Chains A and B, each alone.
Chain A
Amino acid sequence: MHIAVLVKTVPDSEARMEISDGGRGLRVEEKWELNYFDAIAVEKAVKIKEAFPQVKVTAIAYGPRYVLEGLRKAVAMGADEAVHVEGKEGSWLYPLRAARVLSQALRDVGFHLILCGRKATDDDSGQVGPMVAEFLGIPHVSWASSLEWDGGDSLVAVRDLGDHKEKVRFSLPALVTAHKGLAEPRVPTIQGTMRGMRVQPRKLQAAEEPGTENWKLVRFAEPPRRPQVRIIEGDDPRAKARELLRILREEMSLL
């Protein structure tokens, strides 16, 4: 069985970012990491592989050179192969285009199950997973916090959506997006790290898209800043609590 994992490489949480080019660009420090939710997806795929040895795991990434970072990590964690579909800078903001490209790669590579994170922490859109499923004409289950075999081609997943929880059953081929809880990403062993260091991904070219742009990037902006905090003084916690409630009630009409 073949599990394909879609991995996005995003700026590291420590990477410095600033608006550039009069707002038209975002300059990001060259520090990359595997998207948190995709790491969960990779871990789940590898765990399945460890439980069922005939399973093969392929990590697929789309974008410029830096996406190698995410592929290395996926391989270090246990993915068998890596595929890099080359793409331009800026593709991180356009889910439909990425989904189209990734779907073609998935057709080339083959799959029974596709796993990916429920969203990427750079564009926060969560669109690519369901879009890829639609391109490929397969069902998808999002926000999966657990995934188990139900015999044959059948899988059961649990989705924890905040206001309700549900258990669903579906059949392969399918796509599942990973939520926290599906798996805990492992720390690679020395052998894994070596494999990650040596990875030579299979390169694919994205077909040139004739499609129209429906949305054009105008600019990046910083959200409005909060003014300096107002510390509430008081003789004791009771007095401070009273004052806080007064401010919330009378000055801010929040209560």
Chain B
Amino acid sequence: MEKGSIWVWVEKADGKVRQTSQEVLSQGRSMADELGGSLLAIMAGPVSEVNLEDLCGLPDQVIALEGDGEGGPSLIVETLEELIRKDPPWALLAPGTPSTMDWMPRLSVRLGVEMVSDVVGMELLEGGRLRVKRPVHGGRFLVEMESQEGGPRLLAIRPRAFARKTGSRSPRVECFPMKARGPTEVQVLEKAQREKGFVDLSEARIVVSGGRGMGGPEAFFLLEELAAILGGAVGASRSVVDSGWRPASEQVGKSGRSVSPDLYMAFGISGAIHHIMGMDSSKVVVAVNKDPNALIFQHADLGIVDDVNHVLPALIEELKRRS
């Protein structure tokens, strides 16, 4: 195991490297630099499809796993296990997405090494000890863990936990055969991508969310408009999803998605704890609610006490005027 060799699993969507992977590459670069080691980016797909620009000049080396399309989780596990056993990295990082969480836990079992998921903070201490921080109980608390000796440190990183940066390296690109393993156990029958321009909630820099105070499903068209202007994603509270106004994939909260955007705008959301748990790690929170006693104001940086149905159109108009 080369001290300080950091591997980062890189994901692509629509042929481009995803933002969450760039965030992890950035953090991996910082770690490698601090440890005096190297950064290796691993991704599925042929060498010909590797776009070095997408990798922001960060890795020293790239391995492209060539084989059966994207490779299901079991193929990724097999392949990574082989690579790791050949030459174990000091740490393997991946963006914490549903896809990577399908294989990293399985890899963890293969290697007999515990992993940490949803990492939001990292610190290298002297003696090469690594401390990581992750939220528990819906973000009510952070728990700090320290790596002990033995095995590569397996980490799944929360989207938007780390900032993206760029470097100036020109990595060498190699290919490695993705494992081919008989008939795939889980066969994908259909895959429906969202429309172009769709911003995933966990990756969005700006999230605009609506609750019961919006008054009805039609009012959400305004939120969609606001999201489009700001280049953000639309979120929803649990009661709005339960009432069928918005799909479950938009639910922010304890039983929905956790988001950490730079800007979270809560419209007509009361601020029940299960919702707060899903967005409290946002950098800046703006709350608009006509009830001055709404709990959401206790978790917001900026607030407007007024009817969302008056404020939203005003915001949209002002934004349109400016541009």
Inter-chain contact A124/B138, CB cutoff 8 Å: yes
**Structural contact, B105 and A95, CB atoms closer than 8 A:** yes
Confirm or deny: A232 has a beta carbon within 8 angstroms of a beta carbon on chain B.
Answer: yes
B87 within 8 A of A: no
Cβ proximity bits A71-93 to B, threshold 8 Å, 1 near / 0 not: 00000000000000000000001
Whether A217 sits at the interface, judged by CB under 8 Å, is yes
Q: Point out the residue from B98, B256, B263 that lies within 8 Å of A142, measured CB to CB.
A: B98
- Does chain B have a CB within 8 A of A19? yes
Residues of chain B in range 71-113 having any CB-CB distance to chain A below 8 Å: 73-74, 77, 98-99, 101-103, 105-106, 108-110, 112-113
Distance between A163 CB and nearest chain B CB, rounded to angstroms: 4
Q: By the criterion CB–CB under 8 Å, are A212 and B303 in contact?
A: no
Question: Can you list 17 A-B contacts with CB-CB less than 8 angstroms, sorted by A residue number?
Answer: A96-B115, A124-B135, A131-B105, A134-B110, A160-B247, A162-B98, A167-B190, A171-B185, A180-B255, A213-B114, A215-B116, A217-B144, A218-B145, A220-B144, A230-B302, A247-B302, A254-B284
A84 to chain B, nearest CB (A): 23
- Report B274-287 CB contacts with A as 1/0, cut-off 8 Å: 10000011001111
Contact A213 B249 (CB under 8 A): no
Listed stretches B41-49, B162-170, B211-219, B309-317; interface member: B309-317
* Total number of residue pairs linking A and B with CB closer than 8 Å: 242
Whether B303 and A232, one on each chain, are in contact in the complex, defined by CB atoms closer than 8 angstroms, is yes
Give residues in A with beta carbon < 8 Å to B.
11, 13, 17, 19, 26, 36-37, 93-97, 99, 121-131, 133-135, 139-143, 145, 156, 159-171, 174, 180-181, 211-223, 226-227, 229-232, 236-238, 240-242, 244-245, 247-248, 252, 254-255
Which of B73, B112, B136, B274 counts the most chain A CB atoms within 10 A?
B136
Q: How far is B81's CA from A149's CA once the two chains are assembled, in angstroms? A: 33
Chain B stretch 106-155: residues in CB contact (< 8 A) with chain A: 106, 108-110, 112-118, 131, 133, 135-148, 150-151, 153
A161 touches B113 (CB 8 A): no
Min Cβ gap A20→B in Å is: 12
How far, in angstroms, from A255 to B131 measured CA to CA in the complex? 34
B: number of interface residues (CB 8 Å): 94
Chain A residues near B201: list those with CB within 8 A: 162
Q: Which DSSP category, helix, strand, loop or mixed, fits chain A's interface?
A: mixed
- The distance from the CB of B51 to the nearest CB of chain A, in whole angstroms, is 20
Cα–Cα, bound, A83→B192 (Å): 39
New A-B pairs, 6, CB < 8 Å, besides A167-B188, A215-B147, A216-B145: A93-B136, A95-B114, A124-B138, A139-B74, A211-B112, A215-B148
Binds A, one of B32-40, B55-63, B171-179, B292-300: B292-300
Contacts A37-B255, A241-B315; A212 near B115 (Cβ below 8 A): no
Query: Which residue on chain B has the smallest CB distance to residue A181?
Result: B248
